[in-house]
Each structure stands twice: as structure tokens, then as C-alpha cells.
Amino acid sequence: MSHYDLAKPGSEELVIACVQMEPHIGAKRANVARLIRHVETAAGNGASLVVLPELATTGYVFADRDEAFSLAEGLPDGETSQLFAETAQRLGVHIVTGIAERAGKRLYNSALFTGPSGHIGIYRKLHLWNNENRFFEPGDRGVPVFGTPLGRIAIAICYDGWFPETYRLAAMQGADIVCVPTNWVPMPSQPDDRSAMAATLTMAAAHSNGMAIACANRIGTERGQLFIGQSLIVGGDGWPLAGPASIDREEVLYATIDVKRTRAARTLNAFNHVLRDRRADVYDPMLGARWPSFQT
């Protein structure tokens, strides 16, 4: 199935869970075990889609490219991928997790998407943040939208959310939900009494595209880098359904998404629809994007 094959959702409502936790650099086996326990908890609470943080299996602050390469694995055939596939099948859930991907000699900051029937797809982060440029290649698979029994699902990772084009390309391919594994860090000049800039950007993107967005962030300090938590789930109207979560506590956020209502949020009134009103006579409807179709 290519990313252009968009399945109709099998039900109108689903429960999304976003896992906020603290991975530890290099402790891949322990990280994965904890992630799976969180997925089990989420599934036990009725979640059918679980989102885990960016690079959740390995930790984030690599000392150098060699360390990143040693912790990465091929997708979807690596050991960690198989563990998530077994978990998804056993629990009957869909899982999106951040993971370091090795493809030959190339490294990608990726997200693995798996479900009860097996592997669904891979997303490679398009916009690299800070020292990620030392370790990873920029994503080369565009913004795929995966047709699933839950609805049309896209993925973005962390800094991708600073670019409206990421979400717009997902919306123009019919995405209902965007899952965002992330490792948000403090932004310069962030007022102490305001939530993260990422929360504002997420709410704006959800509203202007009529899509639900589910962001799972990490917490803790790793090799001197602070991570700010505040995971959240936003509805298609742009308002939070769950979160922002705490800045320093492991927790799981839950929200019920009505896919039909999410699509309806694109209609603002009798005259205005956030996607239909685009001036495609002025600018390219797909923002000039060109990428090859690929099999999921």
C-alpha cells in the first residue's frame, strides 16, 4: 500500500495516548522495555493509537556519529522493530515511536509506525535541529499519509512542527491525525509564565489544517540538555484535548478523537473552509513538493 492509498476509518472515535517519559542515552534495551510497559498501560486504558517520544529507544544527545550509528538499526527488520510489532499485535494497538534508523551508511532520525497487522510505514525527520546535523541525514521520503482502520495518519518529528508546510502537505493528502514524537527543548526568551512555543505552533497548525495533532515529548536532562515535557493532544479545531502535561513528570495523556468531527472542523462557517479556501491559482497546492511514492 502506498501513502496515497487512504483507507476510510473503521469507526468514528478512537482514543489516542501520548507517552511522556525519560529515555536514557545508550540504554536501548531498558528504554524499550519501559516503552512497552507504557504501551501496555495505554492499551489497558482503551487507547488504540499510542505515540512515543523522539528517539525514545536510544536517548537523544549522542556524543558523536559513531555512538548514534551503534545504537541505530535497520527498519523495519531490526530487533526493536520486531518487539514493537509483537507488542502491537498482542495488544491490538497502533504504535508510533521515535527511533534511530540505519540505512547502509546513512542515519536518519525516524519514526516507526506499526499496527496489529504488522509494519505500516517509516517517517524520516525532514528538518534537523542543532547537533542532529552532525549525526543524521535530512529525511528523503516527504510527508507520507498512511491509510489505517483508525483514519488517515501522518507523522512529524519535533522541529518539523516549526514549518507550516509539513502539516499542510499532510492535510492536502487527507490526513486526519498527525502523530509527533518529539524532544522539545527550551526556546530562547521563553517567558516563565507561558507554555512552550511548541504548544502554540501545534494549536495553530491543527486549527489552520483541521487535523488532530498528538505530541509525545520526553522529560529530564541528558548530557546537560534539558527537555521540557508539556506533551499535548490537540483537536482539529486547534484547542487542546489533553495537556500540556507537566514539565518534569512521566505520564500518559489520553484523548478521544472523533474523526468525523475532526474533518468537520475544517468548515469554519457557511462560506469558509480552511483547505478549500486556499488560493491554488496563486500558489502550488502541494507547495512544489516532489518525492517518490514508496511502499509501506
Cell readout for 24 is 536514557
What is the C-alpha separation between 139 and 152, in angstroms, rounded? 21
Distance CA 160, CA 199 (A): 13
Residue 263 CB partners (closer than 8 Å, separation 6+): 176, 210, 236
Whether 110 contacts 58, CB under 8 Å? no
Strand order in the sheet with 49-51: 118-124, 106-115, 94-103, 49-51, 13-20, 251-258
Could you tell me if 51 and 88 are in contact, meaning their C-beta atoms sit under 8 angstroms apart?
no
Catalytic residues: 54, 125, 158
Closest to 88 (Cα-Cα) out of 23, 6, 28, 150: 150
Q: What angle do CA 195, 200, 203 make, to 5 degrees?
A: 125
Strands 177-181 vs 151-155: parallel, antiparallel or unpaired: parallel
